[in-house]
Chains A and B, each alone.
Chain A
Amino acid sequence: MDLAQLTGDLEDLRSEAMAQAAAAPDSAALEALEIELLGKRGRLTAVLRGIGALPAEDRPRVGAVANTVREGIEAAIRHRGKSLRGGELDARLARERVDVTTPGRPIRRGSLHPSLEAMADIAAIFAQFGFVVVESPEIEDDRTNFQMLNIPPDHPARDLWDTLYVDLPGHLLRTHTSPGQIRVMQSMAPPIRVLLPGRCFRYEAVDASHGFEFFQVEGLMVDEGTTLADLKGLLDQFAHAMFGAGKRTRFRPGYYPFTEPSVAFDVECLVCGGPGCAACGRTGWLTILGAGMVHPVVLQYGGLDPERYQGFAFGMGPERISMLKHGITDLRLFMENDLRFLGQFR
């Protein structure tokens, strides 16, 4: 074995390897080829085994040639590998194409009930004005539901609340959230700003605008200088927040035994905006809620001195608010729980 023969073998290996690399059909074949040529027990190593037979002065020269050959083969394999991988990726991408126009895998979507959502919306608006939420019982005693609200037994105003009584003497299903006013005043000291949401009951035949079970949100604010003008200002804010900033509002006289003066609060018709239509009974106005200054007798039952403290109360139906807001015309939908109806809310 002489120098010339060894370098010749190396050159042969190189040219053969270059051809083989360029012809490798895929990445796996190329990898096998790399091991066959350059591996620990590969052909290059086999050729270099002859180096031991050479004179010492020739060995560096063979080493240099061997390095060049190794680099050349490596470059060829790398080059071939790169082009192979590019092609293979293209093939894979082509193979993996899907019909992107098909619908996705459905995820079940839930929904909150519109009555309670309206209640939450109302609470959120009044929270900005410092009103906190308090709850009171649904099974009430006659005294708190009526008498302490200045509605004595046999008072004609009782006609305003057709009542469901329970088999516990002196008790009834609260006809409104107003008895909560008494409970709040008896347990909290002014300044009072509370919201009393909850379920109410009436002896009322079911139709498109009446139900025997419904929700109400009561508001109560009592302090030393709370005025009817404050009530008006606050309700204006509420109407604007709930129905839109530009909406006109109207105060007109109302009647509740537990407020004096009493008012009804209207907002311009959300359907026609004023000229009058079927939705607003041709008046141009929609009634949103009833309110008034807390009656001195009610303050007294709440344990407050009506000479020192005064305030207002209001009560509204979240279903009514929801109906106006969403254009719903039948109250019965709220308790029917048809999922096609409920699914329209978030």
Chain B
Amino acid sequence: MRVPLSWLRDYVDLEQSPDWIARRLTLLGMEVKGIEHRGLEWRNVVVGELLSVERHPRADRLSLTRVTTGSGEPLEIVCGATNIAAGDRVPVALPGAVLPGDRRIERTEKMGVVSNGMLCSGDELQLTADADGIMILPADTPLGVPLAGLYGDVVLDVDVKPNRGDALSIVGLAREIAAVTGTSVRFPDSTVTEAGRPTPERLRVDVEDPTLCSRFVGRWVEDVRVGPSPASVQMRLIAAGVRPVSNVVDASNYVMVELGKPIHIFDAAAVHDGRIVVRLARPGERLVTLDHVDRELHPETLLIADAAGPLGIAGVMGGAESEVSDATRNVVVESAIFDPISIRRTAFRYGLRSEASLRFEKGQEHRLARIGADRTARLVAEWAGGTVAPGVVDTHPAEPPPARVAFRPARVNRLLGTALAPAEQAAVLERVGLAIEAGGAGDDPTTAGSGAGVNVRVAAGERPLVVEADPADVLVAVVPTWRRDIEIEADIAEEVARIHGYDLVPSTLPSTSMPPFRSSPLELRDGLRRALVGAGLREVVTHALVAPASLDRVRWREPVDVADGETEARGTPIAVTNPLSADHSVLRQSLVASLLDIVASNARRGRPDVAIFEVGKGYGRVGQTTSEWWRLALALWGPLDQPAWNRPARDADLDDAKGLVALVAGYLGLGEPSYTPVPSEPSLHPGRAAEVRAIDGTGATGLAGRIGELHPSLVEAWDVRGRVIVAELSVRGLTAGQLPVPRAVAPSRQPDVERDVAVVVTEDRPSGELEMVIRASAGPLLRHVRLFDVYRGAPLAAEERSLAFRLRFAAADRTLIEAEVEAAMAAVVRALETAGGRLRS
């Protein structure tokens, strides 16, 4: 809310600087987000008096004026406006002046006459809405003084929280300030001079459902003359961010800003027979609203209507037909209280949230309905002339009693960690208008317990909780009617802290008992992240919300295994029903496409290489059940070995990614990963794609997923050159696991025995398969197998290759004898030959 300080000072004595006021409001919970100094942007604009106004010698539409600013020679200024006459005092922008919008005024020649500056309209100064004529200042305005000194103002931008609708007004904020300065608030004058036929004889209001409109106060003002508001009123409204419309409409807006009470004013001529009905819309009903949109009305819409049909949407927007216009003579002032939820829903439904609906949503003080009606009628009569008809129509004149909230001062201290005596707490609360009574005082039915105690409301709303306390331990706060936010004991505690000052709450460290140890679900994830960073990869964090097209681009078609205990990637994608943009409208199911976006965006910026990973989630639903699964994904592109003067660049390939997978497996204490070709995964190169799996000592899957080179058509789709290697892995413990603790054994003192074997096979035989053959046949002494060479060429046939493996044998307890190793090797060779291999000598 924009709060002009000049307006605030109407209701509370406030000598302090804007910075002081801003800080105090912030410390009261009314956070000041900004301080605007209006008028600072006017430089060299002063008050002048027109000595003469003559026709421009060469242009009929222009005037030549002589202006004095009190001292020096009179200035000749050319002016296009027609509302000026000699003797008027006006704002004069002297040469060198700067107006809002950084508009610079210089000495210029206009049709052969030198103009020494400019006479300003209210609009040019952004003071009033009047752009047609020069702004005429009061005749007693002192000559020559800078305009900023007269009309400059400071406007605070105050963030009023949703629970404090009462402070969404100048008077409300004045009350807050008065609480800390110890002064009192001057309430706006709402007395009216009445004459003529009484309102109840001209106007009748029927409310069909009082739960939707708890009070409707109507007033009748006759014989108004619609026109612009006084300049001072326009200045205030503009400073507060409200566009001036006309004296009648401005009166309603003025009251809304001042008191926080939204008001609507109808042209009385549009209200048939002076009979208003507040009712829900009927099926098929339509209304052209003030914004000239013809709307079909939803049956839950609360209407202000007459016998002929809707006049306006209650609390949200009036109808065009009953709008106040220049021709309006008589007006009906509506000051009503509507159901907050109904207004909120209606405003959302029509996309018409306004300053008025915002205030209705937060609830309104009952008594403001009458005050608002009177104050508006008074201002209409003051600014637009007219006669206020005697009396009001009022559907619910009885004021409800103020709320009484019992609280235990000891409990307030226990919540806050303070040691404030009950009397001290009472004194603090009284500063904001709460009256404090002793517990059990009088026969107070709202707080009387079933026994001798006083009922203290600990919780309200959907889960109410009331406890009965000893009257001696209780005080009862009588809450001012505007404070609709104070309902339970904890609200009182907050009010005590707020007014006493949060800076006076002590700073202590908890002395309560410690919870038991609990291992962190982040442990394994964090460990893996650090291991991959150690291997030179950069971690990225990408959006979980992606484009539907991105979802389709990389989607594993073949079922992908998951590590033990991890969540399967399954189900259909989950879409956002109100997305910000199509680019971020569904939850991803794989991380790979997101990483490819990052590869592409960095490549576009000229980055030669990208090696990244992300630990993130995929999402899906099966029926009404949602699931979220953690995955580790990586992408490699460009030279993994960065070029240097002492090393050529080397592009990342599948083997690099496999090395990283092996690093992960090793870090988690798993065995060497094994790979199975996956030729039919559409996102991947059919000849360079594999399913990877690594198992632990018990045979459980510790890591599983897809690894491969991105399909060339996708590389092209992402507009990247070269090859991109990707992997997406499910890792046991990624969801909430701990790092496995390695079992350590003393290294054998016996030397290992190494033997090599080279086997010739056709190209279609995977190396992994032969390695399995070796492992299966070598017997219990085998410790390790490693492919160390691949050979193609003479004397091998064209479709053949030779795979050379190095086997390491050892026994923990003894030195191996030659015959044992030879026997194992013979078994390996036989098995390889059975498997279709030929020994290469």
User: In the complex, what distance in Å separates the CA atom of A138 from the CA atom of B626?
Assistant: 10
Determine if B28 is an interface residue (Cβ-Cβ < 8 Å): yes
Contact call A166/B574, Cβ cutoff below 8 A: yes
Contact call A120/B490, Cβ cutoff below 8 A: no
Contact of A139 (CB < 8 Å), options: B509, B511, B520, B574: B574
Contact call A138/B163, Cβ cutoff below 8 A: no
Contact of A167 (CB < 8 Å), options: B458, B577, B584: B577
Contact call B545/A213, Cβ cutoff below 8 A: yes
Contact call A255/B463, Cβ cutoff below 8 A: no
Give the chain B neighbours of A197 by CB distance below 8 A.
522
Give the chain A neighbours of B165 by CB distance below 8 A.
156
Contact call B512/A213, Cβ cutoff below 8 A: no
Contact call A225/B512, Cβ cutoff below 8 A: yes
Taking A232-B506, A334-B541 as contacts, is the C-beta distance between A307 and B520 under 8 angstroms? no
Shortest C-beta distance, A253 to chain B (Å), equals 3
Contact call A213/B521, Cβ cutoff below 8 A: no
| Chain A, Cβ-Cβ closest to B620 | A139
Contact call B505/A192, Cβ cutoff below 8 A: no
Shortest C-beta distance, B92 to chain A (Å), equals 33
Contact call B414/A203, Cβ cutoff below 8 A: no
Interface string of A132-145 (1 = CB under 8 A from B): 11110111000000
Determine if B653 is an interface residue (Cβ-Cβ < 8 Å): no
Give the chain B neighbours of A237 by CB distance below 8 A.
509
Contact call A191/B515, Cβ cutoff below 8 A: yes
Determine if A112 is an interface residue (Cβ-Cβ < 8 Å): yes
Give the chain B neighbours of A109 by CB distance below 8 A.
536
Of residues 91 through 119 on chain A, the ones whose CB sits less than 8 Å from some CB of chain B are: 102-103, 105-113, 115-116
Shortest C-beta distance, A165 to chain B (Å), equals 5
Contact call A224/B512, Cβ cutoff below 8 A: yes
Determine if B617 is an interface residue (Cβ-Cβ < 8 Å): yes
Contact call A306/B498, Cβ cutoff below 8 A: no
Interface centre among A191, A229, A262 (most CB of B within 10 A): A229
Determine if A63 is an interface residue (Cβ-Cβ < 8 Å): no
Contact call A233/B31, Cβ cutoff below 8 A: no
Contact-size category for A? 35 or more
User: In the complex, what distance in Å separates the CA atom of A115 from the CA atom of B29?
Assistant: 29
Determine if A39 is an interface residue (Cβ-Cβ < 8 Å): no
Shortest C-beta distance, A110 to chain B (Å), equals 4
Give the chain A neighbours of B645 by CB distance below 8 A.
102-103
Of residues 103 through 159 on chain B, the ones whose CB sits less than 8 Å from some CB of chain A are: none
Determine if A310 is an interface residue (Cβ-Cβ < 8 Å): yes
Interface centre among A135, A156, A263 (most CB of B within 10 A): A156
Determine if A154 is an interface residue (Cβ-Cβ < 8 Å): yes
Shortest C-beta distance, B19 to chain A (Å), equals 8
Give the chain A neighbours of B536 by CB distance below 8 A.
107-110
Give the chain A neighbours of B361 by CB distance below 8 A.
156
A120-B522, A253-B498 are known; give 18 further A-B pairs, CB within 8 A: A108-B640, A110-B536, A139-B628, A147-B462, A154-B345, A159-B162, A166-B576, A168-B624, A201-B545, A213-B544, A221-B510, A224-B512, A225-B512, A226-B512, A230-B509, A261-B498, A295-B490, A297-B461
Determine if B58 is an interface residue (Cβ-Cβ < 8 Å): no
Interface centre among A132, A204, A255, A337 (most CB of B within 10 A): A337
Give the chain B neighbours of A107 by CB distance below 8 A.
536
User: In the complex, what distance in Å separates the CA atom of A310 from the CA atom of B411?
Assistant: 11
Determine if B514 is an interface residue (Cβ-Cβ < 8 Å): yes
Determine if A207 is an interface residue (Cβ-Cβ < 8 Å): no
Determine if B61 is an interface residue (Cβ-Cβ < 8 Å): no
Determine if B539 is an interface residue (Cβ-Cβ < 8 Å): yes
Shortest C-beta distance, A216 to chain B (Å), equals 14
| Chain B, Cβ-Cβ closest to A111 | B538
Determine if A336 is an interface residue (Cβ-Cβ < 8 Å): yes
Contact call B521/A171, Cβ cutoff below 8 A: no
User: In the complex, what distance in Å separates the CA atom of A297 from the CA atom of B580?
Assistant: 33
Of residues 447 through 501 on chain B, the ones whose CB sits less than 8 Å from some CB of chain A are: 458-463, 465, 467, 488, 490-491, 493-494, 497-498
Interface string of A303-346 (1 = CB under 8 A from B): 00011001000000000000000000000001111111011000
Contact call B736/A135, Cβ cutoff below 8 A: yes
Interface string of B506-531 (1 = CB under 8 A from A): 11111111110110111000100110
Interface string of B23-40 (1 = CB under 8 A from A): 100111101011100000
Determine if B244 is an interface residue (Cβ-Cβ < 8 Å): no
Provide 27 A-B residue pairs closer than 8 Å at the C-beta atoms, listed in order of the A residue.
Answer: A105-B646, A106-B644, A112-B533, A116-B541, A130-B514, A135-B736, A139-B574, A152-B462, A156-B361, A167-B575, A193-B515, A225-B414, A225-B512, A227-B414, A227-B417, A228-B505, A229-B506, A230-B511, A250-B502, A253-B27, A253-B498, A260-B493, A261-B416, A261-B498, A264-B31, A306-B459, A337-B542
Determine if A20 is an interface residue (Cβ-Cβ < 8 Å): no
Contact call A337/B162, Cβ cutoff below 8 A: no
Interface string of A188-232 (1 = CB under 8 A from B): 100111000101010111000000110000000101111111101
Give the chain B neighbours of A171 by CB distance below 8 A.
626
Q: Which of B597-605, B804-812, B813-821 forms part of the interface with chain A? A: B597-605
| Chain A, Cβ-Cβ closest to B460 | A297
Taking A111-B539, A337-B541 as contacts, is the C-beta distance between A307 and B467 under 8 angstroms? yes
Determine if B292 is an interface residue (Cβ-Cβ < 8 Å): no
Contact call B537/A255, Cβ cutoff below 8 A: no
User: In the complex, what distance in Å separates the CA atom of A205 from the CA atom of B581?
Assistant: 10
Query: Closest 3 A-B residue pairs measured CB to CB?
Result: A229-B417, A108-B536, A253-B29
Shortest C-beta distance, A306 to chain B (Å), equals 5
Contact call A255/B539, Cβ cutoff below 8 A: no
Shortest C-beta distance, B692 to chain A (Å), equals 21
Determine if A37 is an interface residue (Cβ-Cβ < 8 Å): no
User: In the complex, what distance in Å separates the CA atom of A234 from the CA atom of B458?
Assistant: 26
Contact call A113/B544, Cβ cutoff below 8 A: no
Contact call A156/B162, Cβ cutoff below 8 A: yes
Interface centre among B414, B459, B462, B530 (most CB of A within 10 A): B459
User: In the complex, what distance in Å separates the CA atom of A300 from the CA atom of B544?
Assistant: 33
Taking A132-B515, A165-B577, A261-B497 as contacts, is the C-beta distance between A230 and B28 under 8 angstroms? no
Shortest C-beta distance, B718 to chain A (Å), equals 15
Determine if B765 is an interface residue (Cβ-Cβ < 8 Å): no
Contact call B502/A253, Cβ cutoff below 8 A: yes
Contact call A139/B601, Cβ cutoff below 8 A: no
Taking A165-B577, A255-B29, A293-B490 as contacts, is the C-beta distance between A232 and B598 under 8 angstroms? no
User: In the complex, what distance in Å separates the CA atom of A236 from the CA atom of B505?
Assistant: 13
Give the chain A neighbours of B161 by CB distance below 8 A.
254-255
Of residues 143 through 189 on chain A, the ones whose CB sits less than 8 Å from some CB of chain B are: 147, 150, 152, 154-157, 159-160, 163-168, 171, 173, 188
User: In the complex, what distance in Å separates the CA atom of A342 from the CA atom of B415?
Assistant: 43
Taking A102-B646, A130-B515 as contacts, is the C-beta distance between A138 and B628 under 8 angstroms? yes
User: In the complex, what distance in Å separates the CA atom of A324 from the CA atom of B165?
Assistant: 33
Determine if A252 is an interface residue (Cβ-Cβ < 8 Å): yes
Contact of B418 (CB < 8 Å), options: A133, A159, A229: A229
Contact call B459/A297, Cβ cutoff below 8 A: yes
Contact call A223/B579, Cβ cutoff below 8 A: no
Shortest C-beta distance, B342 to chain A (Å), equals 9
Contact call A310/B522, Cβ cutoff below 8 A: no
User: In the complex, what distance in Å separates the CA atom of A69 from the CA atom of B321?
Assistant: 137
| Chain A, Cβ-Cβ closest to B615 | A116
| Chain A, Cβ-Cβ closest to B514 | A130
| Chain A, Cβ-Cβ closest to B539 | A113
Give the chain B neighbours of A188 by CB distance below 8 A.
515
Contact call B507/A228, Cβ cutoff below 8 A: no
